[in-house]
Structure 1
Amino acid sequence: MSEVQPDYLTISYRPDLEVLVGRWMRQVSFSEMCQGYYLLLQAAERHQCRQWLIDVRRRYNTDREGAHWMVTEFLPTVAPRLGGRTHLAYLLAPVILRDPEGDSAFPTTEALAGRPFMGERFIDEAAAVAWLQQMR
């Protein structure tokens, strides 16, 4: 049975890599972002997948509100539902890494230390997938 996905996010599962892939297709509002991450979590539950590749190259709006919601509200609910530490590899456009506001909104690796989730940023999809494979 296929499920309807919103126009702003595609979700697929790569069984060969055991990676859930979410690709944001456009700019999103805060409520769309929240809804999209809950859709990703539902897909991850179906596949029991804790390795996520999140492609945000078309979504240039990492902001403090969204980052705060992710770290304080959304991500703490993921580990209990998936049964362990979740790894999120964010695929970013190079310009985002050069944007001081967007960069400061993204939690650092140190800020995520000891949490039941870990995120890392990449500009190369192969490197992101390799990191996810290493984290398994």
Structure 2
Amino acid sequence: MLPVAPEFVEVTHRPDLDVLLIRWMRKITLEEMCEGYRYVLDRAAQHQCRQWLLDARRRFNTDREGARWMVTSFLPTLHGRLGGRTYLAYLLVPVIMRDVEADAAFPPASFFEGKPYAAERFIDEREAIAWLQQARQQPVAW
């Protein structure tokens, strides 16, 4: 049985796309971020879904501490729970893409090379979904 969904995140599985749609509903604390991502992983495992669209436009916060937790604690757990490579497409407001601090918190593309997970940032939902669908076609063995 899944835990109760936190009120600050909505998670929906789109079986037509095999994408987990995650919508952060407001700005969150680091503790809420950790709780939310653990809930998201439980839902992803329920559907064995490794393509995630994370709508963070309402969340509007990215920081080094949260990014460090993602990289050192959370992302390494994905393969064990989901198998295969997990793809995270972040949907952000354009101002975040231009924010130096937020940009520095997000790992460069080279960080994801050779890892069982990958992430990219987008301002357009269609482009994010297209990236997820293209990633699904990549022949990567893990």
Give TM class, smaller chain: over 0.9
Alignment length (residue pairs) = 136
Q: What does residue 101 of structure 1 align with? A: 101
Can you list the C-alpha shifts for 1:6-55, whole angstroms capped at 9, x where unaligned? 22100000000000011001000001000000010000000000000001
Structure 1 residues 73 and 3: alpha-carbon distance in aligned structure 2, compared to 1, 3 A threshold? closer
SS of 2:71's partner is: helix
Q: Which runs of 4+ in 1 moved over 4 A?
A: none
**Kindly, what percent of the aligned residue pairs are identical?**
60
Distance 1:108 1:40 in 2: 23
Q: What does residue 13 of structure 1 align with? A: 13
RMSD (Å), alpha carbons:
1.3
- Give the TM-score, by structure 2 length: 0.92
Distance 1:94 1:85 in 2: 27
CA-CA distance at 1:5 after TM superposition: 2.0
2:46 partner amino acid: R
**Which runs of 5 or more structure 2 residues have no equivalent in the other structure?**
137-142
Q: What does residue 134 of structure 1 align with? A: 134
Can you list the C-alpha shifts for 1:75-134, whole angstroms capped at 9, x where unaligned? 000111101110000000000001000011011111111111000000000000010000
1:59 partner amino acid: R
Deviates further, 89-98 or 4-13:
4-13
**Which runs of 5 or more structure 1 residues have no equivalent in the other structure?**
none
Q: What does residue 116 of structure 1 align with? A: 116
